[in-house]
Structure 1
Amino acid sequence: MLNEIMEMSDEDLFLKAQEIGSYKRKINTGPAIITGACLTQPHCNHCKWDSFKSGDHAFSQKNSLESVIERGKLMESIGVHRIFTATGWMGHTIPADYPLYIEALKAHTNMEVFGLFGAIDKESLKALQSAGMDGYLCGIESPNEDIYKKFRPGGDTLSDRLKTLYDMKALGLKVWSGFLVGLGETKEDVMKGLEILKDLEPESLSILPFTPYPFTNMMGENPANPLHWARTVAQAHLYMPNANIFSDSKVGFYGKFSELTGANGSYIFPRKE
């Protein structure tokens, strides 16, 4: 089945992906950042948060429960259905107060709440689930180990992330995953990545285009080819038709290509004036 999907023409592939997406509920999502701090050493070579920190030194500071609740209420007021609490990677065991942020958002909003803390151990997932967390977002960056290490030379490994994904599946949490496209992966790499994801029975997928950010080690790399990226998203959509497909590129350079994929999920990043 996957081989046939990979060989489909652009026209047939995108038409089918849009047909599948037309029956799905539209979902808006966005982040509530607990802290921009990160223990990964050396830092990820493509980390957009490092780029943000270069212009905003306060980005690494920890946000209070009150400010995260305020953020959640703002997100809900502008039509966000799902919020993900996010931090840099703080190790395999989460800080003890992270479940409090989940509890607070569940108590003060009606949104789904997901976590985004990198590869973490099963006990941490259980603690977050007990606090009311609906699901967990953990991408695999790349199914190709060499490309993964090019992105992430330190911190959690590809194996670590896969273990976290299978742990969350075993716990009955909603699985949200994906990978980046556009840094030399082969057709075989893409197929391997899609097969890994399908085995996880994901509730949601984010197949995102590699985008270089200023003041990162990979800022000189070319961004992902938009057609290659859109085809990969559409291929994922056909291969896993029950998953929600999220795109963070619905405007700008990739916007028109995103429309081809049938993605039903959008990222929203409101900023305070």
Structure 2
Amino acid sequence: MGTYESGKSRLLQKRTLKEVKARTQVLVEAGIQRVFLASGWMGYEVPEFYYDCIQSIKEDSNLDVYGLFGALNRTSLLNLKRAGMDGYLCGLESPNEAIYKRFRPAGDTLTDRISALKTAKGLNLKIWSGFLVGLGETDEDVSVGLEILRGLEPESLSILPFTPFPNTEMWDENPANPLKWARAMASARIYLRKPDLFSDQTEGFYQGYGILGGANGFYSFPGKKSLFQSLERSGA
């Protein structure tokens, strides 16, 4: 619902509430049931604008709204819940602190994220978490991550493969081994039997490995083309 510069609180661009309402209508007409309210990490507090966005979405729909913000303090989580937020999505990125710091050298920490997830759980928000595979973690790291997640009892879980994108700082890193990723997912499916297990790989052989690993759900952040097609179909 807004675009922020990662690691800073400076707002670069935000949607008007009119745009939020129009996007909500598109999602409802497309049959979407769950939506992420995502941003780059802005610090431990979110701008009040986000509370208005959540209230607007809940007024116009029955969408399950998840915040995706990184680590937040208790006050922000409480205010988001009061605004109508249903769940809190905060990935561990890597259960290995050294790998986490390499992957995210500035901003919040792994400890911060675990603490925020526990706080959200205490506020009766739904929990969605997980971590990436392919950043150099060991089998022991994966076991530690699954143990952390088991303690959090998330309703939803994402064990995702690291896939570097062009023109990013980690573009020269190797992508995740798909079989190792599928094995980590399968381990999560066995060890944490309750949660829905999501993959973000919706095409190609990675999708096949996601299914092999036990994913029972897929999600995506639509690109401009797919978004345009959705808008055309809805007449927006």
TM-score by length of 1: 0.78
User: In the alignment, which residue of structure 1 is the partner of 2:4?
Assistant: 37
* Amino acid paired to 2:43: G
Shift of 1:231: 1.1
CA distance in 2, matches of 1:60, 1:233: 36
Alpha-carbon deviation of 1:60?
4.7
Deviation at 1:39, TM superposition (A): 4.4
Is 1:178 matched with 2:130? yes
* Structure 2: segments with no counterpart, 5+ residues: 230-236
Structure 1 window deviating more from structure 2 (195-204 vs 247-256): it is 247-256
2:52 to 100, 118, 127: 100
Matches within 5 A, 1:119-268: 119-268=71-220
Instruction: Give CA-to-partner distance per residue, 1:84-110, whole Å, 9 cap, x none.
Output: 111111110111221111111111111
Q: Tell me the number of residue pairs that the alignment of Structure 1 and Structure 2 aligns.
A: 223
Q: RMSD over aligned Cα, in angstroms?
A: 1.5
Question: Relative contact order (alpha carbons < 8 A, sep ≥ 6): 1 or 2 greater?
Answer: 1
2:234 is aligned to none
CA-to-partner distance for each residue in 1:178-236, whole Å, 9 max, x for gaps?
00100110000000000000000101001110010111111011110111111111111
% same residue: 53
Ranges in structure 1 where 5+ consecutive residues have no aligned partner: 1-33, 42-58
CA distance in 1, matches of 2:129, 2:29: 26
Q: Which amino acid aligns with 1:91?
A: G
Counterpart position of 2:228: 272
Deviations along 1:17-56, whole A, 9 cap, x unmatched?
Answer: xxxxxxxxxxxxxxxxx22212417xxxxxxxxxxxxxxx
Provide the secondary structure at the position in 2 that maps to 1:207: strand
Q: Kindly report structure 1 stretches of 4+ aligned residues shifted beyond 4 Å.
A: none
- Kept in 2: contact 1:35–1:88 (CA 8 A): no
- State the one-letter code of the partner of 1:179: F
